[in-house]
Amino acid sequence: MDVAALRAKIRDIKDFPTEGILFKDITTLLKDGPAWTSVIEHLAARHGRGSVDVVVGVESRGFIFGGALAQQLGAGFVPVRKRGKLPSRVIEEEYELEYGRDVLAIHEDAIRQGQKVLVVDDLLATGGTMAATLRLIERLGGVVVAAEFLIELRFLKGRDRLKGYRVESLIQYD
């Protein structure tokens, strides 16, 4: 399925979660089996099987893509979660949101020194969440191969916060 057909499956929801926001609802794409399969195939095609050791998925929609992508690439899967959601010892990274600050965490034994890591999330907006995730990976000694996104809101300039990293997005909105 081509990218234009995939883009057509994403529903716009006005004023969600707050007034003035145009939310990109991907549930309409995810429920379509051929479209969902095509998304994972598109993302995996940029990376050969065995080219990464670990796929990191960012809470929460990154988990949906991360598990499927890891399986397709023959890699392990590691979740990055909000503070207090992981059961073992973690390292944490604070980051800024539009409305304040939050904290992401990863198990301290999730990534070994020198492992090749592909990071995936559903949406690149301002880049703050992904920048914090990349810092966590590097603190553990992982080597970031790329950051993959289904959607990029280019007008929010999230790539600017991710300079020096390979950033890929399947669907862009200007």
Of these residues, 7, 46, 59, 61, which one is catalytic? 61
Q: Is 135 annotated as catalytic?
A: no
Q: Is 41 annotated as catalytic?
A: no
What tokens appear for 147 in the block?
A: 């950051």
Q: What is the 3-state secondary structure (H, E, C) of the chain?
A: CCHHHHHHCCEEEECCCCCCCEEEECHHHHCCHHHHHHHHHHHHHCCCCCCCCEEEEECCHHHHHHHHHHHHHCCEEEEEEECCCCCCCEEEEEEEECCEEEEEEEECCCCCCCCEEEEEEEEECCCHHHHHHHHHHHHCCCEEEEEEEEEEEHHHCHHHHHCCCCEEEEEEEC
How crowded is residue 139: how many other Cβ atoms within 10 Å of its Cβ? 14
Residue 119, CA atoms < 13 Å, CB-side half-sphere: 29
Active site residues: 61, 98
